[in-house]
Structure 1
Amino acid sequence: MFKPVLAGLAAVIALPALALAGPGDFAPGPVIEEFGPVAPVEGALPIPEGTEFRISFDTRDRAAEGELNSKLTAAARFLNMQAAASVPVENIHLAIVVHGTAVHDVTRDSAGANADLVAALVEHGVEIFVCGQSAVWYDIAAGDLLPGVSMSLSAMTAHARLQSDGYTLNPF
């Protein structure tokens, strides 16, 4: 008597597992193909036509040796996601504020795996600002930064300027 009920219950429990996607559903994005893979999301709310994004990212922790800085990657992923969702690239304005030990991820001598990612971001209009206070702390000069990376007086100054220009801080 209980066997058919249990068999039916097992089938219901197994169905959601079959419907789930996984890492294999992520693919290169349409803008920065080498970084920031994205996945389509069925049933996601549509992004209204004419939407314009002004988003800043904040990174303070240096990536592990040979690894990519997760906030730099997040910016690439954001750009790819929105473009894949039909937001015109010219409507996506991104900035990254780099401070703390993360300043090493955007210098000529120690960027390592991040150098190509930084170049791709800059090539696609992403502004990258280094906290001057962190740079002084770590004895980094403006000339030490990767091409396209700018020195700001401080991370606080960069965030204040970006906020006054209508940027919102992405918490991820």
Structure 2
Amino acid sequence: MKYLMFASALLLSPLSSASEPVITGFGNFYNVPEHVSINDSTKFKIAFDVDKAAKEGEQNNAMNSLARFINMHVAHGVKPENIQLALVVHGSASVDVLDNSEYKKRFKTDNKNQNLIKQLLTNNTVVYVCGQSATHYKVAPEQLIDGVQMSLSAMTAHAQLQQQGYTLNPF
């Protein structure tokens, strides 16, 4: 039983890196001692798609994937300036990019995604919300977290990002 508890704790504990994470409080990852090497000249330009909202007052784990991507790769030698990410938010997740004051008016609790989004925005990440979904969920541009941009649609954002050389994260 003690061995099982130790093994479970080991599997669930994130990598303790000598350096501080780029995105603090988010983006835990596991150490993989043997992996295909990544060198310091590696460059990433990736779009992430998020369409499902978190439960009210909870963090959106799909959005946290961007923080995990940044922290994991920087900890393994990729230069932060070589990581360019885009977050395209649509569907019910449109409410997860509401400014905290607006979120609190709707759900009577804080938006646990605001700090994450703000840190992503200061770390080579652009964030778009689908204008079609935002309109459906009654999210106006002035209600968004500062720096989040309204796109005509998620389809438009993805098409434009692809033209700029972004690849789409497959999950």
**TM-score with structure 1 length normalisation?**
0.84
State the one-letter code of the partner of 1:119: K
How much has 1:66 moved relative to structure 2? 2.2
State the one-letter code of the partner of 1:97: V
After superposition, residues 35-46 of structure 1 pair within 5 angstroms as 35-46=26-37
**Would you say 1:135 and 2:134 are equivalent positions?**
yes
Give the match for residue 96 of structure 1.
Answer: 87
How much has 1:25 moved relative to structure 2? 3.7
Give the match for residue 159 of structure 1.
Answer: 158
How much has 1:58 moved relative to structure 2? 0.4
How much has 1:153 moved relative to structure 2? 0.5
Give the match for residue 13 of structure 2.
Answer: 24
CA RMSD of aligned residues (A): 2.0
> 1:126 and 1:52 mapped to 2: Cα distance?
14
Per-residue CA deviations over 1:23-72 (Å, capped at 9, x if unaligned) read 12444762112100122211111014411100110001000122211121
How much has 1:137 moved relative to structure 2? 1.1
> 2:138 and 2:122 mapped to 1: Cα distance?
27
- Tell me the secondary structure at the aligned position of residue 22 of structure 1: helix
Deviates more, 1:20-29 or 1:145-154: 20-29
Give the match for residue 146 of structure 1.
Answer: 145
- Tell me the secondary structure at the aligned position of residue 133 of structure 1: helix
Give the match for residue 107 of structure 2.
Answer: none
Residues paired across the two proteins, number: 156
> 2:16 and 2:68 mapped to 1: Cα distance?
11
- Tell me the secondary structure at the aligned position of residue 94 of structure 1: strand
User: Identity over aligned residues, as a percent?
Assistant: 44
**Would you say 1:68 and 2:47 are equivalent positions?**
no
Q: Give the ranges of 4+ consecutive aligned residues of structure 1 lying more than 3 Å apart after TM superposition.
A: 25-29
> 1:34 and 1:119 mapped to 2: Cα distance?
12
> 1:49 and 1:131 mapped to 2: Cα distance?
34
Unmatched segments (≥5 aa) in structure 2: 104-109
